[in-house]
Amino acid sequence: MTAYTARPLTPTVLKELRGRDDAGRPMAPFTDEEGDAPLRCCLRRSMPGERIALVAYAPLRRWAAETGADPGAYDEQGPVFVHADDCSGPDTDTLPFTNAHRTVRRYSADGRILGGRLVEDETGFVPAFTEAFADPEVALVQVRAVEYGCFLYEVRRP
């Protein structure tokens, strides 16, 4: 079985987002009173009392800047939660946020959507990634929440 790794936002990206997000807005941190927000910096749920921020993030745009792709109209931005201050990143290599319906969305090397697959529980992620990367046209996949379409994390070709 091939191991698939969820990619958190990098320290460089986090530093940029904490200054101005991908929509050009300054970060507005707050104390999370309830907890349970899906943090993209450390790929875990927030705890009550943590300082976090909701920022606009453009995952495909940032990937395209690294690779030279031009995603065209597929370039989008959406809300993601991050710690307001530096954090240590993920403390496990277990796939995160697998406790709800998710979409595994496939992208080509030029940044175009190639389809996707609904994953209904934690047992469906590895088969969805294996199926996606069996297609040589797939360069990366994004895992997204079904309810809101929010970006959760990226998995690249192993």
151 CA to centre of own chain: 4
Domain span at residue 109 reads 102-156
- Whether the full predicted model's pTM is greater than 0.85, yes or no, is yes
- Tell me the per-residue pLDDT of 47-99, one tens digit each, with 9 for 90 and over: 999 999 999 999 999 999 999 999 999 999 999 999 999 999 999 989 999 98
**Are 68 and 106 in the same domain?**
no
**Are 67 and 31 in the same domain?**
yes
Is 24 among the domain residues? yes
Domain end position, chosen among 53, 83, 113: 83
> What is the torsional sign of CA 132, 133, 138, 139?
positive
Domain end position, chosen among 29, 48, 83: 83
Domain end position, chosen among 83, 110, 141: 83
Q: DSSP of 75-126, one letter per residue? A: ---EEEEEESS-----S--SPPS-SS-EEEEEEETTS-EEEEEEE-SGGGHH
Is 140 among the domain residues? yes
| Rounded Cα–Cα distance for residues 30 and 17 (Å) | 15
48 burial via Cβ count (<10 Å: 0-12, 13-18, 19+): exposed
| Rounded Cα–Cα distance for residues 46 and 93 (Å) | 18
Those residues with Cβ within 8 angstroms of residue 152's Cβ, 6 or more apart along the chain or in another chain: 38, 40, 96, 97, 102, 142, 143, 144, 145
Average pLDDT, the chain: 95
pLDDT at 30: 98
State yes or no: pLDDT of 1 exceeds 60.
no
Mean pLDDT of 27-38: 97
- Tell me how far apart the 2 most distant CA atoms of the chain are, in Å: 45
Is 91 among the domain residues? no
Shortest CA distance to 80 belongs to which of 130, 41, 128, 135? 41
Q: Number of folded domains in the chain?
A: 2
